[in-house]
Amino acid sequence: MGRVFLEGYDPDEFDCYRQIMQNLPPVQGWLTDNYSGERERVIRGTNGSVECRPMAYTRSNAMRLDAARDWIDKQTTISAALKNALIFSVILAADRAFNGTNDQKSSLKAWTTRALTPVSFPTPSLIEGPTGTQLNSDILHLDSKAYDFVYLDPPYTHGVLYAACYHLNNSIAVWNKPQLNYDYALPRPLDICFRDKGETAGGFYNKSTAAECFQHLLTQFDCKRIVLSYSNAPRNVLTPDELFAICSAVGTVSTYSVDHAICTQPSMFNKVSTELKELFITIDTHD
Ligand SMILES: C[S@@+](CC[C@H](N)C(=O)[O-])C[C@H]1O[C@@H](n2cnc3c(N)ncnc32)[C@H](O)[C@@H]1O
């Protein structure tokens, strides 16, 4: 998705392919088999009661999403930019048809109107202007570290893994049809079931490893200015003061803050706490 914003795509070509994608015959595939219809499951916090609950998508929508995503992979002669834009469109469509709130860990008790609406494939925002490059790697193991300006938006909540929150987007993007663990309300790819593997996620996701990660993150760049977004939410891996101490060792720090909502809170509640602040920390580096 980042590549679509940074590299752009040909809108006319995209539209032509989008229309074909919109009219493909539905196919029963990986999404249909694993994430559609209703499934009996034990409901957490109910003393083991079993109920039949909606999954991520209605069967007919999952079949349209499967048809589109399989078809994109068969288009072997199209440009990478067009392919990425089409995949982005499938992710946007899947997101709209998803029977849940903000993350992809569970779905709602009853089908929503959105989930019951037939899938339509949107056109991703086309950003005009200078193009850029997306690197896809661990930020703690970068090859290139010299930049004019660095903006960082790292995870900051203990135990809330992005890979678990947005695994469906990732599976649709990569389309490697991973093996799943069905013990969760929505099945999860095995490689992100850390607890079942007896592992902790570590890195930015854990209070015991976060300080070292932030220190490494902020001291590695050869640049004049770093801007970091963070928040003061209660489950954060570092308190703002702990983070300021790390930032102050790197350069001169100034902050700007705005109100924000917790990302795991359904957007339909539209609740913004006056206590919660999104912080933008500017560090003008010492050298
Ligand atoms: C707060 S989100 C950033 C969201 C992004 N700014 C956006 O608007 O989509 C933090 C991101 O950091 C990624 N992440 C976590 N650990 C990472 C690491 N070691 N290297 C690179 N990315 C990492 C997560 O997967 C997640 O996408």
Q: How far is the CA of 138 from the centre of ligand 1 (A)?
A: 9
Ligand 1 atom 24 nearest Cα = 162
Does ligand 1 lie within 6 Å of residue 139's CB atom? yes
* pLDDT single digits (tens) 30-48: 999 999 999 988 777 787 8
Q: Provide the residue ranges of all domains of the chain, joining segments of one domain with +.
A: 2-116, 149-161+201-285
Q: How far is the CA of 285 from the centre of ligand 1 (A)?
A: 23
Q: Does domain 149-161+201-285 have CATH number 2.40.300?
A: no
Ramachandran area for residue 271 (φ above 0: left; ψ -120 to 50: alpha; else beta): beta
State the pairing for strand pair 149-152/225-231.
Answer: parallel
Residue-by-residue DSSP string for 73-102: HH-TTS-HHHHHHHHHHHHHHHHHH-SSSS
Banded model confidence at residue 145, pLDDT cuts 50, 70, 90 = confident
Does ligand 1 lie within 6 Å of residue 153's CB atom? yes
* pLDDT single digits (tens) 156-178: 888 788 899 999 999 999 999 99
Does ligand 1 lie within 6 Å of residue 140's CB atom? yes
Ligand 1 atom 4 nearest Cα = 153
* pLDDT single digits (tens) 242-268: 999 999 999 999 999 888 765 555 555
Greatest extent of the chain over all pairs of C-alpha atoms, in Å: 61
Test site for ligand 1: of 204, 227, 230, 263, most ligand atoms within 8 A of the Cβ: 204
Banded model confidence at residue 271, pLDDT cuts 50, 70, 90 = low
Q: Which of 75-89, 98-112, 181-195 has the highest mean pLDDT?
A: 75-89
